[in-house]
Amino acid sequence: AQSVTQLGSHVSVSEGALVLLRCNYSSSVPPYLFWYVQYPNQGLQLLLKYTSAATLVKGINGFEAEFKKSETSFHLTKPSAHMSDAAEYFCAVSGGTASKLTFGTGTRLQVTL
């Protein structure tokens, strides 16, 4: 069984500041991990995914995430926040079965001037 915990349902940062969204996972098999972003009234868009090829994963819009097995974490970061980054972010885990993603509860990112 898989599960994901996202720490912090709301995160607020200033424009230009570091973005750090936390995700910890639990999986009985080697996990595949994903970050999705959801803008208001839209569907989910894939930001990046961990496939076991490299522990540091780069995604779209300047985001990246690092897989740390020892900490069971897959935190999402961006060096400099932009107003357009304001959205809800979801971490998800797949235990190797296609079509069965388990999502975290989401973190809403607010970017202020």
Partner 1 sequence: NAGVTQTPKFQVLKTGQSMTLQCAQDMNHEYMSWYRQDPGMGLRLIHYSVGAGITDQGEVPNGYNVSRSTTEDFPLRLLSAAPSQTSVYFCASSYSWTSGGASTDTQYFGPGTRLTVL
* Interaction of residue 100 with partner 1, rule CB under 8 A: yes
- With a CB cutoff of 8 Å and minimum separation 6, the contacts of 14 are 81, 111, 112, 113
> Which of 51, 80, 84, 110: binder of partner 1 (CB under 8 A)?
51
Q: Is the dihedral of CA 15, 62, 31, 54 positive or negative?
A: negative
> Which of 20, 46, 60, 83: binder of partner 1 (CB under 8 A)?
46
> Which of 13, 21, 27, 34: binder of partner 1 (CB under 8 A)?
34
The 73-92 contact track toward partner 1, x by CB under 8 A, reads -----------------x-x
- With a CB cutoff of 8 Å and minimum separation 6, the contacts of 89 are 6, 21, 35, 36, 37, 38, 47, 76, 106, 107, 108, 109
Minimum distance of partner 1 from residue 31's CB (angstroms)? 9
Burial of 29 by CB count in 10 Å (0-12 exposed, 13-18 middle, 19+ buried)?
Answer: exposed
> Which of 28, 43, 56, 70: binder of partner 1 (CB under 8 A)?
43
* Interaction of residue 44 with partner 1, rule CB under 8 A: yes
Binding site for partner 1 (CB under 8 A): 9, 29-30, 32, 34, 36, 41-46, 49, 51-53, 90, 92, 94, 96-106
